[in-house]
């Protein structure tokens, strides 16, 4: 197994020099959350279920800050397997979320700003489509608008990530069985006159326009659009992100053939773009708490593979000081943009051993597909 320290050293070696202009910001986590040890089930079991968690913009520096703030403990540390993913896209060294999401969703490096469309302009099938072809249930969860790049890469096809109405217009033909996110303003009162909520209902979806109403939905295909835009930060939305993940796991796991679920902590990236340390830390810690719930579920359901990674690194963030004992960090941002630094990969459960080493982000797709194909040949009894 590749040493985590070696991987960290490699990531830090790749990191660009930070610009001196930014001022240090300070964050204190007043109420740390307890982190328990979660036993990993047998890695050699065939894979029935796959959960891919993506922290948008979440680099090793961001995770180091979250670790320090929570008194030196994160749920992600329960993952015994670590790797490094290279994030460049087909036409740029520094990717965007559309090209990076497409790489992980479809296994194809594409052009900047393209959503599940290859450089030649052909539409690409995603892990949602591939898993559905295998008879599995599928789901997509995000804290951003559903037209945003990462969830769109799993549910839509478009040459322009900025085409919000066009991307949402693809959702009625998506093969995802459980969909949660924001972006309600693009579902109705559209320039083309379509009502996407009605179209989703016609496709058999139970639709809720808030998380509070989701609990009353009967079982079956589910669409929850919990905000008109992006979801608010955790201090305002509460525990919704973790609850949505738990709800999806309960719903999708009813399929004896298993499932694929993508869960994105989308707004880590947005806070880093705006150099908002407090909001970024809120989102990081909420992502880790959600990862804890996912890992706990996977531990109790052998044959489940969990992969946790990022699409790219955002903000050139540096952890410059603080106190682990007090949950205090100081840090500064070197930019308001993405960079080309490789990002960490963590894996847990069945098939996790395949995720060691240094590889392209497209190999996340390839490794997941290989695991699913092997699992289909030897299902868990």
pTM score of the predicted model: 0.94
Rounded Cα gap, residues 174 and 192, in angstroms: 19
Q: Is 148 annotated as a binding residue?
A: yes
Query: Is the CB of residue 311 less than 8 Å from the CB of residue 101?
Result: yes
- How far apart (Å, rounded) are the C-alpha atoms in residues 197 and 182? 13
How far is residue 119 from each of residues 108, 312, 369, measured CA to CA in Å? 9, 20, 22
User: CB of 98 within 8 A of CB of 118?
Assistant: no
**From 64, 97, 174, 266, the catalytic residue:** 97
- Which of 7, 75, 76 shows the shortest CA–CA distance to 347? 76
At the topology level, CATH places domain 48-375 in Alkaline Phosphatase, subunit A (3.40.720)
Instruction: Identify which of 38, 42, 36 has the alpha carbon closest to the alpha carbon of residue 296.
Output: 38
Burial class (CB in 10 A: 0-12, 13-18, 19+), 39: exposed
Is there a contact between 24 and 330 (Cβ–Cβ < 8 Å)?
yes
199 is in an annotated binding site: no
At 305 the three-state DSSP class reads strand
Instruction: Please indicate if the annotation marks 56 as binding a ligand.
Output: yes
Q: Under a CB-based contact definition with an 8 Å cutoff, are residues 311 and 5 in contact?
A: no
> HEC profile for 93-149?
CCCCHHHHHHHHHHCCCCCCCCECECCCCCECCCHHHHHHHCCCEEEEEEEEECCCH
Looking at residue 372, the DSSP 8-state letter turns out to be: H
Strand pairing of 178-182 and 222-225? parallel
Q: How far is CA 211 from the centre of its chain?
A: 19
| Per-residue pLDDT of the chain in tens (381 residues, 90 and over written 9) | 445 445 454 554 444 444 445 799 999 999 999 999 999 999 999 999 999 999 999 999 999 999 999 999 999 999 999 999 999 999 999 999 999 999 999 999 999 999 999 999 999 999 999 999 999 999 999 999 999 999 999 999 999 999 999 999 999 999 999 999 999 999 999 999 999 999 999 999 999 999 999 888 878 899 999 999 999 999 999 999 999 999 999 999 999 999 999 999 999 999 999 999 999 999 999 999 999 999 999 999 999 999 999 999 999 999 999 999 999 999 999 999 999 999 999 999 999 999 999 999 999 999 999 999 998 876 544
Q: Tokens 């590889």: give the residue.
A: 359
Residue 338 annotated in ligand binding: no
Q: Where in the chain are the domains? A: 48-375
Q: How many angstroms separate the CA atoms of 241 and 238, rounded?
A: 8
Task: Please give the Cα distance from 140 to 154 (Å, whole number).
Answer: 8
Nearest to 173 by CA among 249, 250, 252, 116: 116
Does 264 appear as a known binding residue?
yes
- Paired tokens of 67: 């670790």
The strand pairing partners of 338, in sequence order, are: 314
Can 3 be counted among the known catalytic residues?
A: no
**Per-residue confidence (pLDDT) for residue 13, from 0 to 100:** 46
Residue 269 counted as an annotated binding residue? yes
Q: What is the pLDDT of residue 218?
A: 78
The number of residues making up the chain comes to 381
Q: Is 359 helix (H, G, I), strand (E, B) or coil?
A: strand
């Amino acid at each position: 197994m590749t040493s985590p320290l070696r991987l960290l050293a490699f990531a830090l070696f790749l990191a660009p020099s930070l610009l001196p202009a930014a001022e240090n910001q300070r964050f204190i986590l007043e109420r740390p959350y307890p982190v328990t040890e979660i036993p990993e089930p047998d890695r050699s079991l065939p894979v029935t279920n796959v959960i891919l968690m993506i922290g948008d913009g979440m680099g090793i520096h961001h995770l180091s800050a979250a670790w320090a703030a929570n008194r030196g403990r994160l749920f992600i540390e329960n993952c015994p397997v670590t790797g490094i993913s290279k994030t460049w896209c087909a036409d740029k060294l520094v990717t965007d979320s559309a090209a990076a999401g497409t790489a992980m969703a479809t296994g194809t490096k594409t052009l900047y700003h393209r959503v599940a469309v290859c450089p030649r302009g052909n539409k690409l099938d995603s892990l949602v489509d591939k898993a559905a072809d295998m008879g599995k249930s599928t789901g997509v969860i995000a804290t951003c608008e559903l037209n945003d790049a990462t969830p769109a890469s799993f549910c839509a096809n478009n040459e322009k990530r900025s085409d919000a109405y066009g991307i949402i217009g693809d959702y009625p033909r998506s093969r995802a069985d459980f969909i949660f996110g924001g972006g309600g303003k693009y579902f109705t009162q559209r320039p083309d006159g379509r009502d996407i909520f009605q179209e989703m209902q016609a496709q058999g979806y139970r639709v809720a326009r808030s998380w509070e109403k989701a609990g009353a939905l009967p079982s079956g295909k589910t669409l929850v659009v919990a905000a008109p835009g992006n979801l608010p930060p955790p201090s305002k939305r509460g525990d919704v992100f973790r609850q949505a993940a738990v709800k999806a796991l309960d719903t999708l796991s009813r399929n004896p053939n298993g499932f694929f679920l993508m869960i994105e902590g989308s707004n880590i990236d947005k806070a880093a773009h705006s150099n908002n340390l407090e909001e970024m830390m809120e989102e990081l810690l909420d992502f880790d708490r959600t990862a804890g719930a996912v890992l706990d579920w996977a531990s109790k359901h052998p044959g489940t593979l969990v992969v946790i990674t990022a699409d790219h690194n955002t903000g050139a963030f540096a952890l410059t000081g603080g106190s682990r004992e007090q949950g205090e960090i100081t840090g500064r941002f070197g930019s308001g943009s993405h960079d080309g630094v490789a990002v960490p990969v963590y894996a847990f459960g069945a098939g996790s051993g395949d995720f060691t080493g240094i590889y392209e982000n497209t190999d996340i797709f390839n490794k997941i597909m290989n695991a699913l194909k092997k699992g289909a040949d030897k299902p868990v009894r």
